[in-house]
Structure 1
Amino acid sequence: MAFVKVAQRGEIKENGGKELNINGTRVALFYANGKYYAIEALCRHQDGSLAPGKIDGEVVECPLHSWHYNIRTGELLDYLEGVKLTTYKVDVRGNDIYIDV
C-alpha cells in the first residue's frame, strides 16, 4: 500500500463527495464534519456511485435507492447485516490530500 495524491483542499465542498479512479480502484472521497473520508465508491445494491450521495453526519445515502453507509467505517446501516465497504486511510499534507490504496 502507498499513499497517492488525489485532490487538494477546497476541491470538495462541506458534505460533498467526489469519485476517484486510483489505479483501477473506484474510491469515493468525502468531506464532512471538517474531515476527509475515503471508502469504496460503489453501493453493493446496484453498483451506483456513492460520491454524489447526500451526507448527514457520518452517513452517506446512495442516490439510486437510498441505501445508507457510514463513511468512517464503510458499514451498511440498513437492509443487510454484515455488509461493509472498504475504507481507506486519508492523509492531509498542507493543501494536498492523499489516500492509502
Structure 2
Amino acid sequence: MTWIRVASTGDIKEGSGKELNINGQRIALFLSKNRYYAIEALCRHQDGSLAPGKVEGEVVECPLHFWHYNIRTGELLDYMEGVQLNTYPVEIRNNDIYINL
C-alpha cells in the first residue's frame, strides 16, 4: 500500500465530496463532521458518481437514484444486503490529505 497526496484540506467543504482519479481508480473523498473519508466513487446501481451526493453524518446519498452508502464502511444501506464499496484510510499531514491505496 502507498500513501498518496490527493488534496489540500481547503479543497473540500464540510458536508460535501470531491471525485478523484488516482491511477485509474475513481475515488470519492468526503468531509463530514470535520472528518475525511475515502470510498470507491461509483454507485453499484448504475455507476453514478457518489462525490456530488448529499452527505449526512456517515451516509452519502447517490444523486442519481438515491441509494445510500456508509462512507466509513462502504456498506450499501438499502435495497440489497452484502453490497460494499472499498474504503481507503485517510491521513491529514499539515494541510494535505493523503489516501492509502
4+ long deviations beyond 2 Å: none
Match of 2:28 in 1: 28
2:19 corresponding residue in structure 1: 19
- Unaligned 5+ segments in structure 1 are none
Aligned residues: 101
CA shift digits 1:49-68 (9 cap, x unpaired): 00000001110000000000
- Show the counterpart of 1:69: 69
Unaligned stretches of 5+ residues in structure 2? none
Matched, 1:50 2:50: yes
When the two structures are superposed, what TM-score results if normalisation uses the length of structure 1? 0.99
Task: Find the counterpart in structure 1 of residue 3 from structure 2.
Answer: 3
What SS does structure 1 have at the residue aligned with 2:5? strand
Percent identity over paired residues:
72
Which residue identity does 1:49 align to in structure 2?
S
Q: TM-score normalised to the size of structure 2?
A: 0.99
